[in-house]
Amino acid sequence: MKGNIRSIRTWLIAVLCFIAVSGCSDDHDDTSAQQLSTEFLKQTVWKGERIRYDNGVEYERNSISILFATDSRGSCEEWDASGGETGYYFSYTVDGNLLTIDGGGIEGWWLLMELSEDRMVLASDLEERISEKLVLDRFY
């Protein structure tokens, strides 16, 4: 009788372990990962911060709003800590994880660091003394 109870208990533990393990999903499934593309950016508005660093130490943080109007053109508004506003138009291209912006204050090569449907983090000049980061949340 004791042997049967142990056998049943061992069997139940094995079944529960199987159910627990098989119920787990793979959260690192790259097939559902968002990809940076002109189609993804087109007709969206992103708001957030432009952060500047000098030798890795933050020295400036401005509010920023970016409109990717078409698949190649956009506009940007930036506000500094004193409330001063700057606005400009730009053109852009996407090549894999690289966003290239031509024109205006955020001109340059921006490397994608993080991307989801509602959040995007871009970095520029990572190997230089002065570097920048755009931390953006999707507004529209």
Taken in order of first residue, the domains within the chain and their CATH numbers are 38-138 (2.40.128.280)
Range with the poorest average pLDDT among 40-44, 67-71, 104-108, 131-135: 104-108
Tokens at 78, concatenated: 């930036």
Tens digits of per-residue pLDDT, 91-115? 999 999 999 999 989 999 999 999 9
Q: How far is C-alpha 70 from the chain's CA centre?
A: 20
**pTM for the whole structure:** 0.75
